[in-house]
Amino acid sequence: MNRKYLTLYLIAGTLALALAVYKFITTYPDLSTGRIALDVIASLFFYYLAYTTYHEKKDKELM
């Protein structure tokens, strides 16, 4: 993957996590666990994409 998307993925993951926390706080007595879980899964997905863009294999340099 391209490293220029690292910042974009980190921002998207942080915004998705902040949205999940906001939904958790605003709807505390009557929680919608499905929607909160979807936001957390989306943030984990973006953090995973950021991790894969940051940790590229350097096998090309060895040859």
pLDDT digits (tens, 9 = 90+) for 44-61: 999 999 988 877 666 666
pLDDT at residue number 62: 54
- CA-to-CA dists, residue 9 to 12, 15, 21, 29, 35, angstroms: 5, 10, 18, 32, 21
pLDDT at residue number 43: 94
pLDDT digits (tens, 9 = 90+) for 6-19: 899 999 999 999 98
Domain extent listing, the chain: 3-55
Axis-axis angle for helices 6-26, 33-54 (nearest 10): 160
Q: Return the closest-CA partner of residue 16 out of 42, 47, 51, 53.
A: 42
Sorting pLDDT into bands at 50, 70 and 90, what band is 28? confident
pTM surpassing 0.85?
A: no
Residue ranges of E strands in the chain: none
